[in-house]
Structure 1
Amino acid sequence: MSKVMPGRYTAQMEGSFVVFIIGMRINKLWAVHKWLPVFMAMNPMLQELYRNKELGFLDASFHLSWRGVSLVQYWKSFEQLEDYARKGANHLEAWRHFNKKVATSGVVGIYHETYLVPEGHYECVYNNMPVYGLAKAGAHIPASGKRETASGRLGRNEKPAQQG
C-alpha cells in the first residue's frame, strides 16, 4: 500500500508528454477462456516497459470495473509510444493473438485513446493521496503559491475561490 502524503500536491512535467488510455471490456462474461488471455497479456507488456525506461514509458495506473480494466499510461512522446506499439515484442505477440483468437468474436472489446499534451497545458491536484498518476510519472510537488488553484497551475493569474 502506498504512503498517503498529507496536504495538497500537484505534478510537474518537463516538456510535452503523452497520455495513453488503453483498456478492455468483457462483453460475454461466461467466455472466460476467450477474454482472460487478453487480460493476462497486459502484465508482460508492463513489465517490459518498466524494465526498459529508454522506450519512453513513464508510468501507468490501473482502473478496474466489473466489466473490464483500463490503464492510464504516461509516455515521453508519441513517437516512442508508436514505436513500442509497432516493435515491442510483448505487444506484437499479444496483438497477433488477439486478432487470431478473439478480434471478430465480440467476446471482448479493446480500446485506446491518445492525448498529446503540450508543455504547460495540464493541471492536476492530489489532496491527501499517495504519489499517483501524473505526479508519479513526473515530479510530485506542493500545490502552493502560484500552484494553489487550477488556474495558477495552468499559468493563469486567477484568485482562489472563497472557501467556507
Structure 2
Amino acid sequence: MANPAPRVTHAYEGDVVLFLVGLRIHQPWRLDVVARVGGAMGPMLAELARNADELGYLGGRTVLDTGGPTVMTWWRSAEDLHRYASAGDRRHRPAWSAFYGYAAKAPRAVTIWHETYAVPAGGHESAYVGPKPLGLASIAGMVPIARRGERARERMRLTGDRG
C-alpha cells in the first residue's frame, strides 16, 4: 500500500489580508460592458506580480464559477492593499473610474464586489493533503504540519475555552 501524501500547512508567518474581488455577469449579451470590466483585471494582476514586494502583494489566484470570476489575493497588510487601490499612478484607480462610466450605460449588466479580511498572526491556519497545495501555501510555501501543530486549534494558537 502506498504511503499517503504528507500533511502540510502554509509557511507564512505574520498578519495577512485576504482580499476577494469578483465579477458577476447578469447580461452576457452586453459585451461592451462585460469585456471592458472583465478585461481590466488581467493588467492589474500583472502589475501586482511585477511589483509584489514594493506593493505588499503576496500573490493571488483566480477561480471561476457559473456567475463569473473571483480573484483571491493575499497582502501583507490592509494599508498596502488600500495604498494600491487608491494610487493614481497604478492600474486600479483608473480602471475603477472607468467602471462607473461602463456601469452607467448598462447598470444591470454586471456586479463588481469585494470582501476584505484582515487576519492577525496566529489567526490563520491551513492543512493540505495531496500533491499540490492551494491558497496561502501555494503562494508562501509550505512546511510539515507538525511544525505548527497537529490540530487546527494549535496552528491558530487557540488555548482554553472561549466560553
Cα distance, 1:17 vs. partner? 1.4
Comparing 92-101 with 130-139, which one deviates more in the overlay? 130-139
Identical pairs, percent:
36
TM-score, length of structure 2 as denominator length: 0.85
Paired residue type of 1:99: Y
Q: Which contiguous aligned blocks of 4+ residues in structure 1 show a shift greater than 4 angstroms? A: none
Aligned mates of 1:35, 1:56 — CA distance in 2:
29
CA distance in 2, matches of 1:47, 1:89: 11
Checking the alignment, whether the CA contact within 8 Å between 1:13 and 1:119 is kept in structure 2 is: no
Q: CA RMSD in A?
A: 1.9
Counterpart amino acid of residue 127 in structure 2: V
- Residue in structure 2 matching 1:123, options 111, 122, 125: 125
Counterpart position of 1:134 = 136
- Listed as ranges, the matches of 1:89-104 within 5 Å are 89-103=90-104
Q: Which residue number corresponds to residue 84 of structure 1?
A: 84
More strand by percentage: 1
The answer for the alignment partner of 1:59 in structure 2 is 59
Q: Deviations over 1:49-104 (max 9, x none)?
A: 00002101101111101221101110001111000000052111211110111256
CA deviations 1:1-49 (Å, max 9, x no partner) are: xxxxx42111132221111011110011221221121111101001000
CA distance in 1, matches of 2:156, 2:11: 11
Number of paired residues? Answer: 153
- Using the TM superposition, give the Cα deviation of residue 144 of structure 1 relative to its aligned residue in structure 2, in angstroms: 2.4
- State the SS of the aligned residue for 2:97: helix
CA gap 1:145/1:49 in 2 versus in 1, 3 angstroms: closer
Partner of 2:27, secondary structure, is coil
- Contact in 2 for aligned 1:86/1:92 (Cα 8 Å): yes
1: CA distance between counterparts of 2:83 and 2:13? 21
**Uncovered stretches (5+) of structure 2, i.e. residues with no partner:** none
Q: Give the alignment partner of residue 153 of structure 1, picking from 129, 133, 155.
A: 155
In structure 2, relative to structure 1, the CA distance for the partners of 1:62 and 1:129 (3 Å cut) is farther
Structure 1 runs not aligned, ≥5 long: 1-5, 159-164
**TM-score scaled to structure 1, two decimals?**
0.85
